[in-house]
């Protein structure tokens, strides 16, 4: 499955997700992101000349990446050196009809803080 930001500067290829997660934590509720989780080696991320920017905060476990040109949040990833590296892809970057049949999980991130 192919995910792209709005201007197609960032392109991501990965197998179709088996489950997608929404979350109400302080950042996911703002991004309204829809996450599918992968091992880094199972994901191909290409960034064009428009570049990308990362946002890291708090305990510095993960960085959220957005397109520097159009601003779409395409994915987050665990920072270097973490024991179990994960890439989470934002499936708002595909048409809803492509993932309409994928089971959704709600994660109560707000209560974890």
Binding site for Zn ion (CB under 5 A): 5, 7, 9, 67, 69-70
Q: CB nearer to Zn ion: give 70 or 99.
A: 70
Name the residue with tokens 């974890």.
Answer: 112
Tell me how far apart the alpha carbons of residues 67 and 10 are, in angstroms, rounded to a whole number: 7
Q: CB nearer to Zn ion: give 12 or 67.
A: 67
Q: CB nearer to Zn ion: give 5 or 45.
A: 5
Q: CB nearer to Zn ion: give 11 or 63.
A: 11
Cα-based distances in Å from 90 to 35, 81, 83, 98: 5, 23, 22, 13
How far apart are CB 50 and Zn ion at their closest, in Å? 6
How far apart are CB 91 and Zn ion at their closest, in Å? 16
Nearest to 43 by CA among 95, 99, 87, 90: 87
How far apart are CB 106 and Zn ion at their closest, in Å? 28
How far apart are CB 68 and Zn ion at their closest, in Å? 8
């Amino acid at each position: 499955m192919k995910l792209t930001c709005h201007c197609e500067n960032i392109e991501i290829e990965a197998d179709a997700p088996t489950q997608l997660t929404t979350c109400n934590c302080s950042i996911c509720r703002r991004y309204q992101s829809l996450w599918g989780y992968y091992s880094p080696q199972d994901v191909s991320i290409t960034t064009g000349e428009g570049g990308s920017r990362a946002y890291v905060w708090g305990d510095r476990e993960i960085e959220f990446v957005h397109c520097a040109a159009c601003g779409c949040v395409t994915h987050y990833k665990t920072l270097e050196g973490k024991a179990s590296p994960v890439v989470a892809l934002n499936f708002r970057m595909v048409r809803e009809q492509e993932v309409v049949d994928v089971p959704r999980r709600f994660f109560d991130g707000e209560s974890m803080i």
